[in-house]
Homo-oligomer: A and B are copies of this chain.
C-alpha cells in the first residue's frame, strides 16, 4: 500500500486541479496516520479507533454523555453509536444509566476499568502521534494548525446549514 492517488495526478493537463491536489494530499496524510493508529490500537490494546474515540469523548465528560451527544461529538450517525457503545458495555468499559427526568435518554459513562484502560491507551496514542509527526518542526506545526483552521472554516461555510445547534 504505497502509491497514492495524489502523485499520480501530478501530470494531469493544467486546469483548476489545484484544490483537488490539495485535497488529495490532505487525504493521503490523514489516511496514512489513521491506518497506522488503527494498526497499533489493535496490536497493543486489541481495540479499534471508534472504540477509542468514544472512550475519549466520555473521558472528557466525567458526568457522562447521552448517545446523541456522543454521536455529534464523533461526527457519526446515531445508529452507529448504539453498536459501538454496546460492544464497549459488553467489555465492561462503559456503563449506561438512565437520565433522571427523561426516560428516553441514557447517560454513557466510563467505568473505573474503562477509565484505567483509556488512560493507558491515550498515553500511547499521544506518543504515536508525536512520533509520526516528529519530522515536522514546531514552527511548521503552528502554521499547519492555523491554515487548517482556515480550511475548516471554509468548509463549514460551504456546508448546508445544520438544524440549529
Contacts and interface: CB of A to CB of B under 8 A. Distances in A.
A102 interface: no
B19 A129 contact: yes
Interface residues of A, number: 76
Instruction: Say whether chain A's binding surface is mostly helix, strand, loop, or mixed.
Output: helix
Contacts of A141: 18-19, 22
Contact of A8 (B22, B32, B73): B73
Interface in A1-25: 1-6, 8-9, 12, 14, 16-23, 25
A155 B36 contact: yes
A106 to B, nearest CB: 19
A104 interface: no
A135 to B, nearest CB: 3
A125 B156 CA distance: 17
Q: Shortest 6 CB-CB distances between A and B: which pairs?
A: A135-B154, A16-B130, A5-B124, A30-B30, A19-B130, A19-B133
Given A2-B162, A5-B73, 11 more contacts: A2-B165, A8-B127, A9-B124, A20-B129, A33-B155, A36-B159, A131-B158, A132-B159, A135-B155, A136-B150, A144-B144
